[in-house]
Structures are given as structure tokens and as C-alpha cells.
Chains A and B, each alone.
Chain A
Amino acid sequence: MPESSGSLQGMVGVFDDPTPLLHMAGKARDAGWKHWDCHTPYPVHGLEKAMGLRDSLIPFLTISAGFFGAVFAKGMQWYMSDYDFPVIVGGKPLFSLPAFVPVTFELFVLFAALTTFGSVILFCGLCRWHSPLHDANLMLEATSDRYVVWFDATDALFEESEVRKFLEGNGAGDVRVVYNESDRRSVET
């Protein structure tokens, strides 16, 4: 446990089994926690529902970007083949709709996939190099074979003794308090 004088960041409970984590998550959700999260080595079935997470926005963004890509492709082919420098090839019409289908389809997929990848980085909170869990050396457990729940000190419900009682009462084998060691501000949501 860190002994430094840094500010209180939050508390973690470490579970050895996903079942109590899931039960605990349901209770925390019903209690109205906002700034908390579970960290697991793989996606645990049902956890997103137990935590009350809303549906992801990614599918909507992906399909929108796909259609944008398709319109872009059609527009590009029209501009280049029909408008900017019209060249008759093989007696085909300048705007050869069937021949323009493959590129349109490929750009649909390309735009949709690029957007999906960008959304993963954005929504999963990636490309952020600092997290209190790293400082507390908890990440190896969370990416290997244990299940960690994090309660952030910024939450209105946060009360050290209450959280400890809640976690211990719900089967967390190990409860730790995490302090900010590096004095950098970082909020885990």
C-alpha cells in the first residue's frame, strides 16, 4: 500500500472470481455510483449490464462514416471521370455507374473501418498514459487473472470506511486505498 503523502485517489477491491464482482457491480450501480469502473483481463459476460452502461455509439458512427465514404467515392469518380477531365474509354459513358461500384464499396468499408478504429481510441479512453492503477501496481493483476473494481474519490458517495465495508461485505479478497504518488491529476472514469 502506498505510504506517500499524495492526495487520496480512490479505492480498489480485488476479486479472485468474476461472480462476486458481478453481484457487487449490480449493487454499486443501484447505489448510484458515477465515478467507478471494473478492470478485468477479458470482457466478463453481463458486467456491462450489471454496471448499467449505455449502448455504445460506435455502430452509429461506423455506418454514418461508411455512407459518407460511399457518397465521397461516387462524387470523386464523377468529378474525375466526367467533370474535370472527361476521357472516353472503350466507348463507355463518362459516368459509368456499374464500373464505379467496386471503388464505391471499398471506400465505404475503408471509411467505416477507419472511423471504428478512431472510435475505439476515443471511447475506450486510449492514448492516455497515466492512471492511478498503474502507480498502485494493480495493472498486472487486472490484465492477468484477477478482477479489480475502482471507486474514484471524486464521486459524491465516496467515503473510505463505507467503501471498505461495502467491498469486504461483497467478497473482495483485497481492499486497498490508492494515493496520488506523482502529484499529477488523473481521473479514472
Chain B
Amino acid sequence: MTGGGAGPTLDELDTLTGEGPGPTPMEKTDLQNLQPPPLVTRDVSLRELEDAIVRPVESFPTFRWMIGLAISGSLVVLLMVCLIITVVRGVGVWGVQNPVGWGFAIINFVFWVGIGHAGTLISAILFLFHQKWRTGIARFAEAMTIFAVMCAGLFPVIHTGRPWLAWYWLFPLPNQHHVWINFRSPLAWDVFAVGTYFTVSLMFWYTGMIPDMALLRDRARNPLRKLLYGILSLGWRGSARAWHHYEKAYLLFAGLSTPLVLSVHSIVSFDFAVSILPGWHTTIFPPYFVAGAVFSGFGMVCMCLIVLRKVFHLEHVITIRHLELMNKIIIATGLMVGYAYAVEFFIAWYSGVAAERFVFLNRAFGPYAWAYWIMVSCNVIFPQLFWFRRIRRNPWLVFPIVILVNVGMWFERFVIVVTSLHRDFLPSSWSYYIPTWIDLGLLAGSFGLFFTLLLLFCRFAPVVTVAELKAVLPNSHPKHAGRLERKRGYDA
């Protein structure tokens, strides 16, 4: 690497100012004060950066990692047990009953799909907006998307009762009854939305990993390891011709994922909004659900990254500034969610519909008031602490707040589903929904599945996109590239 303090942005400034000899040292310092803070806070070479990131993949698992895997693995066993009981004895073992026909299964489904949305927001939307800070956290957040959507997909499938027959209930497959699925049903839209979301996120994630898999292949000493990563890297050689197409494709993936992620949670909210039930039948649901999804997803990303950067010693790559920026998004989306809560109440009053007014009063002051106020305090009140710079830059304080955000967002779905159902139009059928231990076991087990997959991911793939991070280091791009192009007329 050459010395010299000028980063790529300085060069861009240089090309803008013309063909002069470039800024003098004094001007350079002045300009550097105007530059955004560096994305990697320690001065490292490409090789050092790469070593720091791939160390967890290339070293023997640590004791802490094994403890983590043991805990989450036990929860996966619990998940298996609860799944077997559910499948053998039927969904009657759950707490769902007559007015509350949708219980934990749909709550968990919406919760996990929402968790996934932060990953796509970071990898796609921030990419389109040229937010370079996303580089340090995008890979991990994308992995979270994939695993969260896997957890989400589990619940509707088991809710069908006989998942082995769900193929032709969910997908338009030819079958012996000659009946097709009902394309007017939001549940059928869900299948397409979540299925597409999972497939596209998986391809986006994998495409992003190909260059890093090639790096792991080339660093590998063990022949089996070399073979494995060789297959995963698809024979990537870092060729400029390949990079040329690759960058274009990556941009397209980002462009496709952006409307996709907005559509997915909108369609999830249609499951409720398209029905005629008071409390669900509201037009604010699609934007409200998308904001809530981003809110909870960032909470989860933040929570995992606080642990990860400490355990893997990546504090110089996943910096305090990353946490701060994520916390700013949390407070913004948290306010949107709070606004939606308020508007729902206003519209219930303003509509003049007695049933609508009753549902919202019942929500805040009825038998489930405890759940409602947990939701409001976790989602609207506690995130306000992030207005204080000192709090949002302190991982020890951020960690409990983002956990509360996730608790609050889970309760939000609980409130929407249960409080709208448990007191329906016929007071004689009113009841109080209580989950069974199998419901709770499935919820805990889905967390186990999520964290098990995340822990395995941290062991087998670099948690930070090495190739992208190298490209944002200062000095990683040719000096005066723009000027050279203009001089020689390289714009074929």
C-alpha cells in the first residue's frame, strides 16, 4: 500500500477541482476534517483486516461459543418435542379456542418475519442510498433475515394441522380434487410473498458471500476445507470481468429486494386488514407493520451485534458509530409505531363505529390491558432514551433497551391478534386466551432454532463482508482514477 493520508473521497474532490497538482498538505488536513469518520476505526492493512474477520472461522471454537450452542441446541430439542406433540395430537394441544382461533402461531409468524426485515433494509435499502457504514453489519443482518424467515415459515405450516398435506393447500399444485388455491385470499398472497422473500434473500446473501468463500478457500490449509469452500465459492477468481457483472447484479438484487421487503410485511398485514374484524380492518396496517418490522429487526440486529463484536473482537469493524446509527433508526421507526398506535385510537373514535370503539377501549383497559401497556412502554417509552447521545453510544445501556424493543414488538402482535378476537360480537362467547406450555415451548424453541443457526453461521462464514470492507478502506482505490479516465478517454 502507498502511504499518504488522502482517502478516495479526497480524490473525488480532486477530480472535481480540475487537473491541478492536487491539494497541498495543509488543504488536505482541512478537507479531512470535513470527511465522515472512518468506517474502520483502527489503521489496518487489507491482510490484517481479513485476518481479524476470518479468525473465528479458522480457529477452534471457543468455550463461550460451545456454551451458547449448547443452550440454543437444547431449545431446538424443546422445539422438536413440541412439534412432535403438535403433529401427533393436533393443534388442539395449543391454547387456541373458539373466539381466539389465531394464537401464538400467527403471532410468532408475524414477529419473525418482522425480525427479518432489518436485514433486507440494511443490505438493500441502505445500499441504494450509498450508506457505506452498512458494510460492517450487512452480512450478519442478512443472515438474520434468512434464519428469521425460516423460523417464521415454520408456524403457518404447522398451523395447517397436517403439514404433509400443506403442499397443495399452500401452493397452486395440480391435485386429485382439481380445485386450485383461492388467489383472492391474503393467506395465499402470504405464501407467495414469504416464499419469494426467502428465495430472494437467500440468493442475495449467497451472491454476497461468493468472494468471501473464495477467500476462505484460498486461505484454507486442510484439503477437505479447501474442497468445501471451493464448492461454495463456485470457482470465483476475483476477475475484473466477473466483478463488473457481479456489481451490476448486486445492485439489481438490492433494487429488487427494496420493494419486495415493503411488500412482504404489507401483505402480512393484509392477513388482518383485509378481514372485516374491528381492530384489524384498518388501512394504516401496511405502513404500520413495515415500520414495526424495521423497528424490531433493528432491535434484534443491535442486540446480536453487541454480543458479536465483543466476543469476536471486532470492535474496530462494528463500531460504536454503527450502534449509534442503528439506534437512530430504532428511535425513528419507534416513533412511527407510536404514531400508529395513536392514530388507531383516533380513527376508532372518529369512525363512530361502536364495535370499533369498544375494541380499542377493551385493548387498553380490558382484561389484556397488561399486554397493551407492556407494548406501549417497551415500544414507545423506553426507546425515547436513545435521544441521549450518551445512552445510545453505550452498549451496556443499549443492550437492555433493544431487548425491551423486541419484547414490546412481540407483545404488539399478541395485542393485535388476541385482543381483537377474544371479545367478539356475541358476549356469550367471550373468553380469555391462555397459551399452553406447548405454545410457549414452540416460541422458545423458535428462538433456539434462530440462535443455533446464527451460531453455526458465525463458525462457517465470515460475519462481515470482507471484500466490501476492503473496498471502503482508505487507499484501496487508485489515485486520481477519475482524472485518468477523462484524460485517456476511457468511457467506452
Contacts and interface: CB of A to CB of B under 8 A. Distances in A.
A47 B252 CA distance: 20
B260 A56 contact: no
Contact of B238 (A46, A90, A116, A142): A142
Interface stretch (B75-83, B90-98, B185-193, B307-315): B185-193
Interface string A98-128: 0110110111011011101101110111111
B183 A42 contact: no
24 contacts: A26-B488, A26-B490, A42-B476, A44-B478, A45-B481, A46-B477, A46-B484, A49-B485, A53-B240, A53-B241, A66-B256, A110-B200, A112-B252, A124-B242, A124-B246, A125-B241, A125-B242, A126-B234, A127-B234, A129-B230, A131-B235, A139-B218, A145-B45, A188-B239
A45 B218 contact: no
A123 B244 CA distance: 9
B492 A58 contact: no
B184 A96 contact: yes
Contact of B1 (A17, A53, A59, A100): A17
Contacts of B467: 41-43
A21 B218 contact: no
Contact of A45 (B259, B477, B488): B477
A29 B490 CA distance: 10
B237 A39 contact: yes
Nearest to B492: A52
Interface of A: 16-19, 21-23, 25-26, 29-30, 37-54, 56, 58-59, 62, 66, 76-77, 80-81, 84-85, 87, 89-90, 92, 96, 99-100, 102-103, 105-107, 109-110, 112-114, 116-117, 119-121, 123-131, 133, 139-140, 142-145, 188-189
B237 A142 contact: yes
B378 interface: no
A29 B45 CA distance: 30
Contacts of A139: 214, 217-218, 237-238
Contacts, number: 248
B477 A44 contact: yes
B478 A145 contact: no
B215 A143 contact: yes
Contacts of A19: 2, 478-479
Interface in B189-237: 189, 192-193, 195-196, 199-200, 203-204, 206-207, 210-211, 214-215, 217-219, 230, 234-237
Nearest to B185: A89
Interface in B318-341: none
Contacts of A124: 236, 239, 241-242, 245-246
Contacts of A80: 172, 180-181, 183
Nearest to A98: B184
A107 B192 contact: yes
Tell me which of A26, A92, A109, A131 has the highest count of chain B C-beta atoms within 10 A of its own C-beta.
A109
Contacts of A49: 485, 490-492
B425 interface: no
B183 A99 contact: yes
B245 to A, nearest CB: 4
A58 B252 CA distance: 9
B328 to A, nearest CB: 28
Given A50-B485, A113-B203, A124-B236, A45 B478 contact: yes
Contact of B252 (A62, A89, A100): A62
Given A46-B482, A52-B492, A85 B192 contact: no
Nearest to A51: B240
A133 B180 CA distance: 53
B478 A127 contact: no
A102 B286 CA distance: 13
Tell me which of B47, B219, B481 has the highest count of chain A C-beta atoms within 10 A of its own C-beta.
B481
B182 interface: yes
Given A16-B1, A77-B183, A58 B249 contact: yes
Contact of B183 (A29, A51, A100, A142): A100
B481 A22 contact: yes
Given A109-B196, A144-B218, A44 B240 contact: yes
Contacts of B492: 49, 52-54
Tell me which of B182, B192, B242, B490 has the highest count of chain A C-beta atoms within 10 A of its own C-beta.
B490
